[in-house]
Amino acid sequence: MSMSAGGGGGSMADINVTPMIDILLVLLIIFMVIVPVTPKGLNALVPQPPKDPTKTPPQSDRTIVVQVIYNRGGAPTYKINQDDIDHRDLQAKLTEIYANRAERVMFVKGDDDVNFGSIADVIDIGRAANVDHIGLMTPKIQAGQ
C-alpha cells in the first residue's frame, strides 16, 4: 500500500483574473464618463479691481450694491447704493430697479459683524426680485478699488 503525497501530474484549478480586470476597467471608464466632473454650488460674482489703479471709473447707476450694516442693539440696516431702505421695502425696491434692465447684476456687501443669515436673506430677496447674478463684495476687493 503505497500512498503518494501530491505533486504529481494532476491538474490544478486556478482562477483566470484577466477577464475580471478587463470588466473592472470598463466599469471604471463608464463611471468616469457618467459622473459629472464640475461641482455645483453658489454662482458668486466678485467685482474685479480696475486694471489701472490711477484711473478710477465713474460710479455708474448700473451697479447696484446692497449694503447690510451691523447695528449693535438690533436688526441690521440696509442701503441700496447710498440710499437707506427698510427691510420690508427691499424686495419691492429691487423689483422696481430691475424691472426694465437687461443686465440684472447685484452685489451684496456686509459688515464684518453681521450674521451671515442676514446676507443670505438679502440674496433670497434678490432672487425673488428676478436678479440673475448676485455677487459678494469682500474687503480684499474693496481695498483694490
Reported as a single tens digit per residue, the pLDDT across 13-29 is 788 888 899 999 999 99
- Residue 70 within a domain: yes
- pLDDT (tens digit, 9 = 90+) per residue, 77-93? 899 988 899 989 999 99
- Residue 54 within a domain: no
Q: Count structural domains, the chain.
A: 1
Q: Return mean pLDDT, the chain.
A: 79
Please, are residues 30 and 22 in contact by the beta-carbon 8 Å criterion?
Answer: no
- Residue 2 within a domain: no
Short-list 117, 122, 116, CA closest to 135: 122
- Residue 40 within a domain: no
The two beta strands, 105-110 and 64-69, are: parallel
- Residue 18 within a domain: no
b/e for 86-107, b at 16 or more Cβ within 10 A?
Answer: eeeebbebbeebbeeeeebbbb
Domain around 88 = 64-144
- Residue 42 within a domain: no
CATH assignment at residue 80: 3.30.420.270
